Amino acid sequence: MCGIAGIYSFDRNNHEKFENQILNMTNSQIHRGPDSYGIYNFTDINLSFGHRRLSILDLSENGNQPMESPNSRHVITFNGEIYNHLKLREEIVDVKWRGSSDTETLLGCFDSWGFEKTISKISGMFSFGLFDKKEKKLYLSIDRAGEKPLYYSFIQNKLIFSSELKAFNFYNNFKKNIDKDSLATFMQLGYIPAPNTIYKDVYKVEPGTYITIYNNSKHEVKKYWTLDNYHQNRSSYQNNKKSTINNLEELLIQSVNEQMISDVPIGAFLSGGIDSSLITAIMQSLSDKPINTFSIGFVNKDYDESLYSNRIAKYLRTNHHEKIIGPKDCLDIIPKLSQIYDEPFGDSSSMPTYLLSKLAKESVTVSLSGDGADELFGGYERYYRGMAYWRILSAIPIQIRKYIRYLLLSLPAKSIDKINNRLFTTNKLGYKIHKIASSLDARNTKLFLQSLVSYWNDTDNLVVNGNCNTTSYHTVSPDNFDDLKSYAMFCDFNSYLPGDILTKVDRASMSVGLECRSPYLNKEVIEFSNQLPINYKIRNGTSKWILKEILYKYLPKQFFERPKTGFSVPIDSWLRGPLKSWASELINPKRLIQENNLNAKLVEQRWQALQNGEKSYQYQLWNVLIFQQWLNDNWK
């Protein structure tokens, strides 16, 4: 795993040297690649590649980058892992390999097969810049799910690209201008989906996409893979339950086995939930010694699952590591978030994810995780409850729904929670009721789903001169799907998974030099999942049915007979308590008015409503606070 950078000037009359800027750009990402660095300056064009390396496969100098291909046609600066690279080597017989790295394998494939065939065959997580000396083409690309990041910008007749936004600060002509539309999107979703970023004219390469840049500065964006093709042909799985379960298990075993290949110590994140427990169980079954497992627990027992992860670790006999955290641990991390994520990022579970990564790094350099299972196998409540509610609600006239919405939102969240605590055990019931209520005025399925995944539905009133149209990220119509649950999962795979979940894990883990791998996001697993009928994923109102059927082969069923908690932190109580002083300073009305980014009156109203327990505004306000902290750190 690595940090990459590049500068490409299209001015043919002035041969420039970018060595100092490239060095600074790559050094700003030393956390992604602490083991070595390299620079490649092309002699006949104004192009320079930079690289910081985290050595995982072939720890010798033969794995250093940027790397030239065996026949010298291609040069690459590469970040990631190609899990099927040993199989690909077997298909190429006329290459004399210098070392055993997957980077060299990738270059051998480009030499032998060309760009499009190679990128269709590789399986892994990656981002790279590749230059074809013969065709005079530069390619920028990332993996199918969006596990590895790549940013780019055209600035004054030059192309700049890098693994992280912070590297752009070391390019001489880079100007930081906030994109107010992206800010509005962030306030609504808690992240900024590709291709946009918080800065004007800076973009993310989208998952499953490659960009071809020609030496006259023209460029083309093309999809080499899309999930659209894999949710149609489902009939063959309808009546073969046992074989379907076995087929998925075999794919997961193959994926875990490939991702366990490493020349450095490896472990697994173990939360105690379905997803990570299955990966850990398979991993331990493939190992002849106890694997290292890692988990985070919380002082607040309502959010703590460490008891479950401990139980599973003991059953599997792993070498388990655990850390219990409280509000002070997270408060200490908050000043680091802007540096870790580079742009505003509102997922509060980024804090325990960082602490988990830091804990794992003390023992290993690579860790496997359960990310991607929720989006592929129906893990979120909005799939099996939210979309079921919509089937009923959409039949009710919208004027009646608006009246019900008004009644439910008028109930204080703290009153709902008090009743819940006495009669029920539903976690965060007040927040959930307000969430559903705020979606009742949706006029169609797309808007209802958008409301369910949004924090601010009124960003036009919040962000000064900012407009948000996040429905554009859900480009496929619900009519293309045979059920609404599959539609919701498809939307999340294309937006929420890469924009939130994978961003969170990549930046948190790489900030401490830890590589995190996700076996569920293996190409074959993704494609297999999206050919399954919905009843293999959600059955009788419960989620991830097929994963549970596999899991119970490895672990007792009673270990998982409990509600899904999720990797969250108690933001509401923290903002009323230990984080209140920090928050109050950042959203001081005078400060907001002076900065002229956010509606100070609206923010103050919702802050007071949260403090009084009237409304569940903690996640809305958290996005505001994260932006304010980011602004504070980037415009001092």
Q: Spell out the residues 6+ positions from residue 314 whose beta carbon is closer than 8 angstroms to its own.
A: 320
130 phi and psi angles, rounded to 5 deg: -130, 130
What distance in Å separates the CA atoms of residue 275 and residue 376, rounded to the nearest whole number? Answer: 11
What distance in Å separates the CA atoms of residue 2 and residue 33, rounded to the nearest whole number? Answer: 5
Cα 317 to chain center, whole Å?
Answer: 30
Q: Spell out the residues 6+ positions from residue 542 whose beta carbon is closer than 8 angstroms to its own.
A: 384, 548
Which amino acid is it at 183? Answer: L
Query: 33: which DSSP letter?
Result: -
442 phi and psi angles, rounded to 5 deg: -65, 140
Q: What SS3 string covers 309-351? A: HHHHHHHHCCEEEEEEECHHHHHHHHHHHHHHHCCCCCCCCHH
Beta bridge partners of 214: 137
> Which residue in this structure is represented by tokens 């023992």?
363
Which ranges constitute the DSSP H helices of 495-612?
Answer: 496, 502-510, 523-529, 545-551, 571-576, 580-586, 589-595, 600-611
Is residue 145 a contact partner of residue 530, using CB atoms and an 8 Å limit? no
Q: Spell out the residues 6+ positions from residue 376 whose beta carbon is closer than 8 angstroms to its own.
A: 489, 493, 520, 525, 526, 529, 530
Look at the alpha carbons of 336, 125, 211, 233 in this order and tell me if their dihedral is positive or negative.
negative
DSSP strand pairing (266-269 vs 292-298): parallel
SS3 180: helix
User: Of 117, 126, 116, which is closest to residue 4 (Cα–Cα)?
Assistant: 126
Lookup: tokens for 38: 């390299």
Residues with catalytic function: 2
What distance in Å separates the CA atoms of residue 144 and residue 123, rounded to the nearest whole number? Answer: 9
SS3 203: strand
SS3 548: helix
